Chains A and B, each alone.
Chain A
Amino acid sequence: MINDTIAGISTAVGNSGITVIRLSGPQAFLIADVIFKGKSTVQEQESHTIQYGKIISPKTGDIVDEVLLTKMESPRTYTREDVVEINSHGGYTIARTLLNLLYESGARPAEPGEFTRRAFLNGRIDLSQAEAVMDIIQARTQRVSKVAVKQLEGSVSKKLDDIRERLISLLSAIEVNLDYPEYDAEEVTLAQAGNTTKEIIGILDELINSFSFGKLLREGMEVVIAGRPNVGKSSLMNRLTRKNRSIVTDIPGTTRDIIEEYINIKGIPVKLVDTAGVRETSDKVEQQGVERSVKAISEADFAIVMADAHTLLTEEDEIILKKVQEEGKPFVLCFNKVDLIKEEKRERLKKNMPEAVFMSITEDIGIEALEERIFKFATENIQDMDNQVLITNTRHENQLKKAKSYLEAVYTASQTGMTLDMVALDLKAALEELGKITGHYADEDVINAIFSRFCIGK
């Protein structure tokens, strides 16, 4: 807890363009070198200089982000330890990936207030501020545990409980054999331990996949672009996709009428959905497309209703707008092709419809304004978007992954004929990692389970 290397986020994520990820501790440079590729290695980089480079996932070789990396050698740093700061423009998703890479490369998630605590312990912060430091630690911890509780509500928590319950059940069955060999509790065989562990790994995988972020942050906020044909939906889609770094390429298997694209607006992951033109139609084939579009609107978190500034709202536009309103979707009305109307008319329209966005994709007018509206909606409506959520999330994710690696060791041991005492060692380690998320102590749970589930005694 005292001499290791920690990583965490030192700026707010999401609302500012830049996220700073900080590494502090004796192995900061070494760990940074595992994921950073620049002109020189971090270890060779001169102290208190900035260098440009790429973050590359050591496992996949993928480029995760382009960043600026600052190296600061002890003691002239915030914590008085060796410090690396990575400036990323990527927002939530990228910050999360970066943190995970650092954790996988040997850094430990920083505890709440830990950078400050280290700064103090290393003499960087004046004695007169000791109380303030202690307050920060306590306050941040409370904040984090609040967030953690919030995160753990619902299905995630149920799944986690389920995994813990299975682990406790397996481990207590093994422990009762180890601690009470003379009683007739059923012996757990290595094969059984292996099989059960494999099942648990399966559930844990599901949890890891579903746990990390809420649906919004995991899959992105779903934004649908609706409008009658030829108002410029596809152009908008292309424009936004080109401008904003695409996180995931096209999802295959989507219908020919709906194109989905993942983009990143100011750090918010957004799933952009382009619909076929929605209009009342009797054509059978087209009817299907329309139905799908209506469905896309109903599933989206937010709608961009596009119309033509030249024609203003046509009857068809009104129908689409009505659909959106019927679904109760928050939306923004966008008038494209403002370049085709006169300045004077444009001003008048703006005055009459202050809520609408007037844009021209070809002339690159109003795109920023549209993005701003999407971002504003996201940040206003998603309560739990702040640093603590991200930090809590990545920490939990890290613990789940660690638990998984212990369980994998259990499985291997069960296959190679290791003894049960060693198997129990890793099972307990896995349970402890999960316990860090829920605040349970493995020892107590297992001993209680032994006494309540098995009949032992003199």
Chain B
Amino acid sequence: MSDFIGGEYDVIVVGAGHAGCEAALASARLGHKTAIFSLNLDSIANMPCNPNIGGTAKGQLVRELDALGGQMGISADATFIQSKILNRAKGPAVYSLRAQIDRRAYSGYMKLVLEQQENLDLKQAEVTEILYDEKKVTGIRVHTNAKYLCKALILTTGTYLKGRIIIGETSFEGGPDGLFPANRLSDSLKNLGIEILRFKTGTPARINRRSVDFSKLIEQPGDDEIVPFSFMTTELKENQVSCYMSHTTKETHRIIQENLHRSPLYSGDIEGIGPRYCPSIEDKIVKFADKESHQIFVEPMGLGTMEMYLQGMSTSLPEDVQIKMIRSVPGLENAVVMRPAYAIEYDCINPTQLKLSLEHKEIEGLFFAGQINGSSGYEEAAAQGLIAGINASMKLENREPLILDRSQAYIGVLIDDLVTKGTNEPYRMMTSRAEYRLWLRQDNADVRLTPIGRKIGLVSDERYNKFLKKRNQVEGEIKRLKETILPPSDHINSFLERHGSARIVTGIKLYDLLKRPEIEYEHLSEIDQKADLSKEVLEQVTINIKYEGYLKRQMNQIDQFKRMEERRLPDDIDYSEIHGLSLEARQKLNSLRPLSLGQASRISGVSPADISVLLVYLESRKRKKSK
């Protein structure tokens, strides 16, 4: 079969899921001629699992992505059908936005954004081979045998590589959501010497709304006041749907117990490693046998469909068992299953083969993002996609890669965890993975990242000016509160009493008044002329004042952390020749090749003493050089 050149691009993105979309948009928006390939252009930015975006830690990721100039937040704001802030009572470090999304609308919206993007071509094809010259990527070949040339290649293949679907005793080759798998690309990766892992994930069944008895379910409405994901969104629609809650019964557990032997997870048919945080319902029942009931959430998949998602019922049991167990749940007695639950096994790479820029350590120009890196979740994928898209562009422009560290963003925690520590299960972001959670909040993602996005070139004038205005207002108001001193008076003291706060006998700054837990900013309007400021500004002001002590401490820790991150380890070190290092450290450091002393210190097997030795080594190297 003769081949031909189908096109020449700066950047090619393989896969048009959440990672691929962000990668392609970033690269095209930075002015690079980009092509994005998908097995099926009708499944762009598809959500084959849960129909929502955000949630704990994930909401933070979307905010960060948005602050850098990414797309997911804007698209989610345009197509959400219900919105909620989780953890409102548990403190600002963990407030998390989550929205139910109209799945088809989201996919359509994203497709249009891609289509309208200058410098970006969309192509429907299966990519079968990576073309390279020595250790440098030169292009791809697709199933029609066409070749496309590129300077940088970003693989965002999701769960498609050698995908295998398992439903009970049945299994077949397949990608997610009834799509085809991509069977040939993994072999091309192996030929390049890339280490492949096999992971597994799963999704619950979808049922028809008409078959649900809502009178037995508990309604879970959205918030009255809706907060957008994007710092750019000013107007938002209202909530249009509710979610619902039910629970498993003894009968459900009995059905599962009796059919456990038919689960491929227990019979050994599934080899892939599944995530601990997403156990299937049979896993939960086996592992937590004393728990009599588990929650089930029934969530709409969109406005234009009757399909509903059954969160909490992920399973790989056979279809007949699925139907029985779903029907044992109150409200779902007559449920009609439209798509059965399934488990999916897929190839991904060992992410420790990557640099923090998401480029492969050995193969120049080859970037990876999303589930192929062992992560899980739309938001985790999108965040990596954006970084890979940016860094492919930086490489073409001969600029420094964008590496966010653990103190700058959840995105930094995500990538550092994957690349430095690796993962042995699909990796999900959690707030407890972040050391500096109090600083990595969703409300200040713009403060942390918009200036960086501006330097990269993804932040528009409009976004940047909006950000500057907000920042000035926050700083101005804090200054004003520090400078306004209230003298003690009956008026003030009766105000304080009203709010259960101690009286004052000497003057007090508004700033210090706000530090009292019982005094909220809104209360101040009773004693102070009200500043005309947006909710977002007031939120910043309040958090900065109320948690000042904790924040200061966190900033000090961040300072310490940064010092180690800033000590760069040159590329050409041969760790096996560094005398004082432990043997394990020599091997690990040689294979992982960390960027900084900080990164080195997070590699398992590298001890503080090894870090000490490296410090000495770096100094002696410097002295030798200067000689």
Q: Which of B278, B608, B611, B620 contacts A457 (CB 8 A)?
A: B278
Query: Is A127 an interface residue when CB atoms closer than 8 A count as contact?
Result: yes
Asked if A135 meets B517 with Cβ closer than 8 Å, knowing A112-B609, A179-B431, A419-B90, the reply is: no
Q: Is the CB of A114 within 8 A of B612?
A: yes
Measured between beta carbons, the chain A residues less than 8 angstroms from B615 are 2, 117, 121
Q: Is the CB of A178 within 8 A of B431?
A: yes
Q: Which among A9-17, A194-202, A366-374, A420-428 touches the partner chain?
A: A420-428
Query: Is A314 an interface residue when CB atoms closer than 8 A count as contact?
Result: no
Query: Is B491 an interface residue when CB atoms closer than 8 A count as contact?
Result: no
* Nearest Cβ on chain B to A444's Cβ, whole angstroms: 9
Q: Is the CB of A422 within 8 A of B91?
A: yes
CA gap between A123 and B94 in the complex, in Å = 46
Asked if A425 meets B56 with Cβ closer than 8 Å, knowing A181-B86, A458-B204, the reply is: no
Mostly, the A contact residues are helix
CA gap between A181 and B88 in the complex, in Å = 10
Measured between beta carbons, the chain B residues less than 8 angstroms from A420 are 90-91, 94
Query: Is A435 an interface residue when CB atoms closer than 8 A count as contact?
Result: no
Query: Is B469 an interface residue when CB atoms closer than 8 A count as contact?
Result: no
CA gap between A456 and B56 in the complex, in Å = 13
Q: Is the CB of A127 within 8 A of B624?
A: yes
Give the number of residue pairs across the A-B interface with Cβ within 8 Å.
155
Query: Is B250 an interface residue when CB atoms closer than 8 A count as contact?
Result: no
Query: Is B447 an interface residue when CB atoms closer than 8 A count as contact?
Result: no
* Nearest Cβ on chain B to A422's Cβ, whole angstroms: 5
* Nearest Cβ on chain B to A16's Cβ, whole angstroms: 27
Q: Tell me the A123-139 residues at the B interface (CB within 8 Å).
A: 123, 127, 130-131, 133-135, 137-138
CA gap between A123 and B616 in the complex, in Å = 11
Asked if A443 meets B314 with Cβ closer than 8 Å, knowing A1-B564, A3-B563, the reply is: no
Q: Is the CB of A447 within 8 A of B93?
A: no
* Nearest Cβ on chain A to B573's Cβ, whole angstroms: 14
Q: Is the CB of B609 within 8 A of A451?
A: no
Q: Is the CB of B580 within 8 A of A456?
A: no
Q: Is the CB of A458 within 8 A of B91?
A: no
Q: Is the CB of B438 within 8 A of A422?
A: yes
Asked if A451 meets B517 with Cβ closer than 8 Å, knowing A184-B295, A421-B93, A457-B284, the reply is: no
Query: Is B306 an interface residue when CB atoms closer than 8 A count as contact?
Result: no
Q: Is the CB of B563 within 8 A of A2?
A: yes
| Chain B residue at minimal CB-CB distance from A417 | B517
| Chain A residue at minimal CB-CB distance from B294 | A455
CA gap between A204 and B279 in the complex, in Å = 36
Q: Is the CB of A422 within 8 A of B86?
A: no
Q: Tell me the B526-581 residues at the A interface (CB within 8 Å).
A: 547, 550, 554, 560, 563-564, 578-581
Query: Is B477 an interface residue when CB atoms closer than 8 A count as contact?
Result: no
List the 6 closest A-B pairs by CB distance, nearest first. Answer: A134-B580, A419-B91, A421-B91, A141-B609, A130-B620, A421-B93
15 A-B contacts, Cβ less than 8 Å apart? Answer: A1-B560, A1-B563, A111-B612, A130-B617, A134-B578, A177-B90, A179-B57, A183-B295, A421-B91, A422-B93, A422-B547, A447-B430, A450-B430, A455-B288, A458-B312
> Which residues of B are interface residues toward A (Cβ below 8 A)?
49-50, 55-57, 86-87, 89-94, 96, 203-204, 276-280, 283-284, 287-288, 291, 294-295, 297, 311-312, 314, 430-433, 435, 437-438, 517, 547, 550, 554, 560, 563-564, 578-582, 607-613, 615-617, 619-620, 623-624
> Which residues of A are interface residues toward B (Cβ below 8 A)?
1-3, 111-114, 117, 120-121, 123, 127, 130-131, 133-135, 137-138, 141-142, 175, 177-184, 416-422, 424-425, 443, 446-447, 450-452, 455-458
